[in-house]
Amino acid sequence: MTETETGGDDRPLLAVRLDDLFRTVRPKGKHWTNAEVAEELKRANPELKVGGVYLSQLRTGKRSNPSPDLLAALARFFGVSVAYFFDDKVAQSVLSEIAAIEALRQSGVRAVAMRAAGMKKENLQAITAIMDQYRQLQGLPPVDDPSGPE
């Protein structure tokens, strides 16, 4: 594991990735505590042995060897592939999607996105160019979006 993969975090990669899910993904539209997630996981799979304290230990790196069943249950709960925990490309893709969702949660961004929905590609390109200019004027970094407006 490199510093780049964890952003300088000294926790195991699994801990960082699990913590990222807890901090950023909102199943059923809410922020979940360790104990609440444990209860939901046990409700869906009564044989699963998990508690809020154990999930906390996994997130901090104090524990690092969850069962495959627990990883599968966590992946299902957060709506990601189990590969998210192990595959850098899958994790990067998931984190990019999460970042996009987080951006939409910002005040005003959702309104812009809703107004752009259904517009012609040419119009979206023009609007994107204008927004890029305003970002530059405000000293914001350019947006890395290889797909461009769709």
pLDDT digits (tens, 9 = 90+) for 13-35: 999 999 989 988 888 878 899 99
Q: What is the pLDDT of residue 66?
A: 93
The whole-angstrom separation of Cα 49 and Cα 102 is 31
Q: What is the pLDDT of residue 141?
A: 86
The whole-angstrom separation of Cα 110 and Cα 98 is 15
Q: Which residue type does 121 have? A: K
113 or 43, greater pLDDT: 43
Q: Is the pLDDT of residue 146 over 60?
A: no
The whole-angstrom separation of Cα 28 and Cα 7 is 28
pLDDT digits (tens, 9 = 90+) for 90-119: 888 888 887 777 777 766 777 787 788 888
Q: Which residue type does 28 have? A: K
Provide the pLDDT confidence category of residue 62 given band limits of 50, 70 and 90: very high
Q: What is the pLDDT of residue 101?
A: 73
Q: What is the pLDDT of residue 99?
A: 77
Q: What is the pLDDT of residue 1?
A: 41
Average of per-residue pLDDT across 135-145: 84
Q: Which residue type does 137 have? A: L
Q: Please identify which residue in the block is written with the tokens 């899910």.
A: 21
Tell me the average pLDDT of the chain. 85
Report how far apart, in Å, the C-alpha atoms of 34 and of each of 23, 70, 110, 123 are: 11, 13, 29, 45
Q: What is the pLDDT of residue 107?
A: 64
